Chain A
């Protein structure tokens, strides 16, 4: 995954292809290793074949499982072409995806960027599944293949398997099955109800997918297909019971149609609405009065997939840090063992340097903190604190400083934290100094930016907290809740945005999303922006403005 892409989409790893290509071949050949070692070399030169990959994989796995103590899902390496990589990009990195025009749009975008040479492709994509799927590009040189195997098939793989966030939110065993189900469901619905109707619904659902995640209540991850079956059966039973009752007691209306006792249902629903509700998708799926069952099924599908991607948003930096640290360790060990030659090592270092480059804020290439760079730096820093702590480290990290067990410490950190808490726990003053971090206040009411903290004693803790908050997708997202739904009268739906630090919603975008919500809800919708501190109403949005 490249650092400058939006993070929500592509799975797992993947690094920008630098200028590395082209020069590797010559180098690989020039620096032929000494004869003594050559029989230990896993490969020589840039070309790869399935034998060298297998051999290299085995050597890498040995180091990962042995020395680093990683624990992995079984891996499936799949070799794909650049074109297939573009395809994978478009379907958010997944091998199976349902059909929707937005994937076509993404594909057209990526293709244009790629063909114009504005953006290079990821070197690999790894899917959080069991067995873990790792796509590697055929164009990679053997040195690159070794790096991406160490990065994705070891680092990301271990992280997926052990990190709490992933364990709680996703089910690696069933994700491919879920995706196949999603594709089937969409195709079936399109067949029955028409492509247009399905796309209309998916458009609306996609607009809300960021609001479709239960951030407070975690851990429920029902099997999609089973859930749907269960609901269908339930509906069927309900209908039969009602039909029976109605058919026997009520004379048929002239039209021959049997009306369901709607009011009764709504009354029951209102009791169980459970407001306020932050999961808009869930709320609409459960309570929108006019939706058909298939529409609810689709909403549920989008919601479940959004939940699948949530851990990746929450652990982006750690995940990349883990993978980058792992590939760095492994490649160095291979070199120490004489299993790769100097040319390969140089190519690897070039690639690695490209991946962890962190331009400073005034650099033209600056686009925020590079998760690879920060992650890798923090992992290295933790390793250092464990083995060679300074007095400062001992004061700041008494529980791990000098414990002499860097690998175990890292493994524990990878398992228990997400980006936000990881930074809060492990970002050291020394790293803050090295990165020369500073905190800037950007207030639209003030003429100037104000420097609030720099890398000094007074600033460490504040910087750490601010950086931690910046890595919390929950905080980055506006918090919008359903606060009231009038199910008896005009059936209006009331939403509320609690405004922090006067950061209001973009009016135009909000209106567009509200239109989607109104479509799903079937009746009028209103969103009020309320200051979180004072409770004062700041703005009101309507879909029809």
Chain B
């Protein structure tokens, strides 16, 4: 008998098969995910996901009998009171064969399994692409990161590489024959003892000759020692760093939302899901993503997530106040030179009539030039009162923004009517466009 310890064998023997399985269920998983993201909070991005998918694509069929028809007999244990010929009422919905079916048929209706976080995000953002990842004005400028690049013979003291330096020093000392301290000590000791008369030269020469000889030798060695230094400037080596230009790996995402009375809780939920997707998406591309929540009625303020989505506030609607607040925050905390700025604005499209023009101006002149990308989603669950205007299908803000979306590349707008729209709209906004390089 042999015992073999296999515990150290590589794990994940089935990763390949799992990958194949995930690929196979891709379409269904995507649908399941679109359903699934409705339940997540905006900043919950850390966990994997349990998804349930129908078994269509992964069903493995086999010839099987239909359990609901025909005659079969079963032998069961545990008879208590039955006698031959007794009739027993069927359990409701013919469930009697239920246990039997699961015995040999693996009663699989829907298939539940857990995706790892990476698998989840991969699927969620498959063929999506972040527009304009790197700040245009930054492409030339070096937001550089030092990177090790060998050794140099000059540099600041704190980058002195001791190992390298000593290696060169050792080689040089060996090559130039710098006497070792031990050699000098030995001569000195012999000299001492000769002088003290403790020993005599071996071959019978007079002690004085030997003393003289040793003294000359000692002088030579000492001279050489002082001439060949222990560490020469020639030996010094420094760690060298090169500066590699780096795209900025941090982003700030502004969530702007109208919280005036016309936005009800349902509409806020829709907006929330959209923000959440954007947050997840940005997190995949940047080292760190800050989220700034700005809500507005007729004035705007920066708030935390909870207040943003659940706080009650009433008032009129002046959209430009939110834009101004955002600009203020950017000015204060997020210098455009080191932050990628993304803006997502959600609103039901209402605005004070005179303000719309002002908003469009703000966007064109100030916001869009410093922003990587801005998405405007209009929440329109079809309940908006459409009265008074001839062209009542389009809101004030929509009409005001529309020309911008035509002329500005980094600005897009979409409508969301119900939760099911969110993922398709999001997907549409960030779809990888073949034309972009």
Contact = CB atoms under 8 A, between A and B. Distances in A.
Interface of A: 6, 50, 53-54, 57-58, 61, 74-81, 83-84, 86-87, 90-91, 99-105, 107-109, 111-112, 115, 135, 138, 153, 195, 199, 203, 206-211, 358-363, 366-369, 435-445, 447-456, 458-459, 463, 466-467, 470, 476-478, 480, 497, 499, 501-507, 509-510, 512-513, 516
Nearest to B23: A101
A251 B436 CA distance: 54
A109 B3 CA distance: 30
B13 A84 contact: yes
Interface string B321-338: 000000000000000000
Complex A-B, nearest 6 residue pairs according to Cβ-Cβ distance, in ascending order: A360-B78, A104-B21, A104-B17, A503-B70, A512-B61, A361-B76
Given A451-B83, A509-B63, A512-B61, A90 B17 contact: yes
B73 A466 contact: yes
B106 interface: yes
A350 B58 CA distance: 39
B113 interface: yes
Interface of B: 1-7, 9, 11-14, 16-24, 50, 58-80, 82-90, 94, 96-97, 99-100, 102-104, 106, 111-114
B21 A108 contact: yes
Nearest to A471: B75
A368 B82 CA distance: 18
A513 B4 contact: no
Given A101-B20, A442-B97, A443-B71, A76 B4 contact: yes
A476 B104 contact: yes
Contacts of B75: 369, 437-440, 463, 466-467, 470
A437 B4 CA distance: 44
Nearest to A5: B106
A443 to B, nearest CB: 4
B70 A458 contact: no
B77 A361 contact: yes
B58 A105 contact: yes
A442 B63 contact: no
Nearest to A423: B75
A347 B86 CA distance: 43
Given A84-B11, A87-B13, A437 B62 contact: no
Contacts of A101: 17, 20-21, 23-24, 58
Given A77-B4, A449-B88, A368 B99 contact: yes
Given A90-B17, A112-B50, A510-B63, 16 more contacts: A57-B1, A79-B4, A81-B7, A91-B14, A105-B21, A108-B21, A108-B113, A112-B112, A112-B113, A437-B79, A443-B72, A451-B88, A466-B73, A504-B70, A506-B64, A512-B61
B22 to A, nearest CB: 7
A78 B4 CA distance: 5
Contact of B14 (A50, A90, A440): A90
Given A449-B90, A478-B64, A442 B72 contact: yes
A329 B19 CA distance: 45
Contact of B61 (A199, A367, A456, A516): A516
Given A74-B1, A503-B66, A442 B71 contact: yes
A102 B59 CA distance: 9
B62 to A, nearest CB: 6
Contacts of A359: 78
B14 A459 contact: no
A358 B21 CA distance: 36
17 contacts: A77-B3, A108-B114, A358-B77, A437-B76, A439-B75, A439-B76, A440-B75, A441-B71, A442-B74, A444-B71, A448-B89, A452-B73, A463-B75, A480-B63, A499-B70, A504-B70, A506-B64
